[in-house]
Amino acid sequence: MKLSLITLAAVIAVRLALFGMGRPPEGTDFMLVHFLAIVTIVFFTGQNMLRGDKRIPFPDILRDGFRNGAVYALLFAAFIFSYYRLVEPTFFAERIDALVAAGTASGNPEEVIRPRLEKFFTPFNYASMTFFSLLIVAAFNALVLGLLHHKVLRRYL
């Protein structure tokens, strides 16, 4: 759990530093950082478990890896919701305006486009999509790295 919080703090610091430099990540530009963070969390969770007891069963390795990845996903989703509410509150309005302009340029009426975009582009939806995406990545990594720890790395610790 401590590793999840430390990694989360580092990722949040990177995101806020990028915002401070005027280069906030947009969309999936930041997903590689999340992927590496979750891999780090799950891997070192398994390492710590095997250092404590080399006979620990695979389901325990899997469960703890997923639990720590899920904690990261949940807390980062809460951060991203707060980020778009407090730090960058105009992001979605500007994005909607740009998409509406592109849609009206292609011949679609603004009265149809804008309400749909305003329902979709919200901090809550973005945080929810981020949470579920990170949760899926955490589950996949917990499975793969759990198997790696169970079958291979157990012999070397």
Q: Is the pLDDT of residue 146 over 90?
A: yes
If DSSP codes are grouped into helix, strand and coil, which group holds residue 23? coil
What is the tens place of the pLDDT at every residue in 64-113?
999 999 999 999 999 999 999 999 999 999 989 998 888 888 888 888 88
Residue-averaged pLDDT of the chain: 92
pTM over 0.85: yes
* 141: exposed, middle or buried (Cβ count in 10 Å: 0-12, 13-18, 19+): buried
Total domains, the chain: 1
- Is the CA virtual torsion 96, 30, 77, 20 positive or negative? negative
- The domain of 59 spans 2-156
Q: Count other C-beta atoms under 10 Å from residue 56's C-beta.
A: 17
Rounded (5°) CA angle 76-50-142: 35
Distance (Å, rounded) from C-alpha 84 to C-alpha 80? 6
What is the tens place of the pLDDT at every residue in 120-134?
999 999 999 999 999
What is the tens place of the pLDDT at every residue in 24-39?
887 778 889 999 999 9
